[in-house]
């Protein structure tokens, strides 16, 4: 894939880097969004969720949104080219200078290779002691639990809070505890679409496990346990993240 013509932020990435890029890997429903928010808040770095950015583009009716919407509704992946361009634009923003957490990206080996090249080419996370390596955290959750999480998921369209009708229901049926807005089910959380997403995850995203473990960047975390313990494990992986 061609390198993207984006502004160079090398200078702002030098010297002041805190944590480098954190990549969250996991099936749909593994808890990437929940953990990404906690990590983002703790380290003061932005959460870059490609799914959220794509949904926002659909809401705004952009060209990207138009290209992505039917694919997403079917549970298929958006093309690597479109997603990489979108990520290139997002990570060029100054708020990514001290680190970033990537949630839902990369999702194919092609995207991972692009990301490696992009971070190197634009001198992301270079410090006087070398370049910070990405920290990759894989959240592992078994298939039936993923199904339960996804079919039960409800989201508040106003504040983004996520509930689950089986495990973490709102106080009053169908409305957000925070702002009383009616909760919605994501279009791709219908059962037949969920099966497609999980199938695509296995075929297209799971190969990233060997891609990153081959580079000794991968930490595997049991995503079925207590959310606070999962966060603690993720923090540990980030703190011990190595340098090139
Ligand atoms: P989930 O991981 O729970 O399926 P996301 O919100 O991360 O949900 O993504 C929703 C959809 O957006 C995906 O099914 C896919 O169609 C699209 N998408 C998100 N990230 C990527 C990506 N990196 N590459 C291709 N498509 C993506």
The pLDDT value recorded for residue 244 is 40
Residue nearest atom 7 in ligand 1 by C-alpha distance: 51
Q: Using the Cα atoms of residue 14, residue 19, residue 25 and residue 29 in order, give the sign of their dihedral.
A: negative
pTM for this structure?
0.86
If DSSP states are collapsed to H, E and C, what string results for the chain? Answer: CCCCCCCCCHHHHCCCCCCCEEEEEECCCCCHHHHHHHHHHHHCCCEEEHHHHHHHHHHHCCHHHHHHHHHHHCCCCCCHHHHHHHHHHHHCCHHHCCCEEEECCCCCHHHHHHHHHHHHHCCCCEECCEEECCEEEEEECCHHHHHHHHHCEEECCCCCCEEECCCECCCCCCECCCCCCECECCHHHCHHHHHHHHHHHHHHHCHHHHHHHHCCCEEEEECCCCHHHHHHHHHHHHHCCCEC
Tell how far CA 80 is from the center of its chain. 15
Return the residue whose CA atom lies nearest to atom 2 of ligand 1. Answer: 28
CA of 234 to the centre of ligand 1 (A): 21
Q: Is 125 exposed, middle or buried (0-12, 13-18, 19+ CB in 10 A)?
A: buried
Catalytic, 107? Answer: yes
Tens digit of each residue's pLDDT (9 = 90 or more) over 37-81: 999 999 899 999 999 999 999 999 999 999 999 999 999 999 999
For the chain, the residue count is 244
Domains of the chain: 12-45+98-239 (3.40.50.300)
> What span, in angstroms and rounded, lies between the C-alpha atoms of 96 and 123?
12
Distance of alpha carbon 13 from alpha carbon 94, whole angstroms: 9
Residue 225 exposed, middle or buried by CB count within 10 Å (0-12, 13-18, 19+) = exposed
pLDDT, position 150 = 94
In 3D space, the residue among 151, 158, 139 whose CA is nearest the CA of residue 206 turns out to be 139
Q: Is there a catalytic annotation at residue 216? A: no
Q: Among 26, 37, 50, which residue has the most ligand 1 atoms within 8 Å of its CB, making it the best to mutate? A: 50
186 is known as an active-site residue: yes
| CB contact at 8 A, 15 and 207 | no
Which residue positions in the chain have pLDDT lower than 70? 1-18, 242-244
Contact status, residue 99 vs residue 18, Cβ threshold 8 Å = yes
* C-alpha pair distances (Å), 221 with each of 84, 141, 200: 26, 9, 21
Residues 115/208, Cβ–Cβ less than 8 Å = no
For atom 3 of ligand 1, the residue with the nearest CA is: 28
CA pair distance 22, 133, nearest whole angstrom: 9
Please report the pLDDT score of residue 113 as a whole number: 97
* Per-residue model confidence (pLDDT) at position 125: 80
């Amino acid at each position: 894939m061609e390198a993207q013509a984006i502004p160079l932020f090398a200078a702002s990435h030098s010297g002041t880097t805190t944590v480098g890029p954190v990549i969250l890997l996991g099936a749909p429903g593994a808890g990437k969004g929940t953990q990404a928010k906690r990590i983002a808040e703790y380290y003061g770095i932005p959460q870059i969720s490609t799914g959220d950015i794509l949904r926002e583009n659909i809401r705004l009716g952009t060209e990207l949104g138009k290209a992505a919407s039917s694919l997403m509704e079917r549970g298929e992946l958006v093309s690597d080219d479109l997603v990489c361009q979108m990520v290139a634009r997002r990570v060029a923003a100054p708020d990514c200078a001290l680190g970033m957490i990537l949630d839902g990206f990369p999702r194919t080996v092609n995207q991972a290779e692009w990301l490696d090249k992009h971070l190197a080419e634009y001198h992301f996370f270079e410090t006087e002691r070398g370049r910070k390596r990405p920290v990759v955290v894989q959240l592992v959750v078994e298939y039936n639990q993923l199904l339960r999480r996804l079919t039960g998921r409800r989201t508040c369209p106003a504040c983004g809070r996520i509930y689950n009708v089986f495990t973490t229901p709102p106080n009053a049926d169908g409305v957000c505890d925070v702002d009383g807005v009616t909760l919605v089910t994501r279009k791709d959380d219908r059962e037949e679409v969920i099966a497609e997403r999980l199938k695509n995850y296995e075929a297209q995203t799971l190969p990233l496990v060997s891609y990153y473990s081959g580079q000794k960047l991968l930490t595997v975390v049991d995503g079925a346990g207590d959310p606070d313990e999962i966060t603690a494990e993720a923090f540990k992986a980030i703190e011990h993240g190595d340098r090139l």
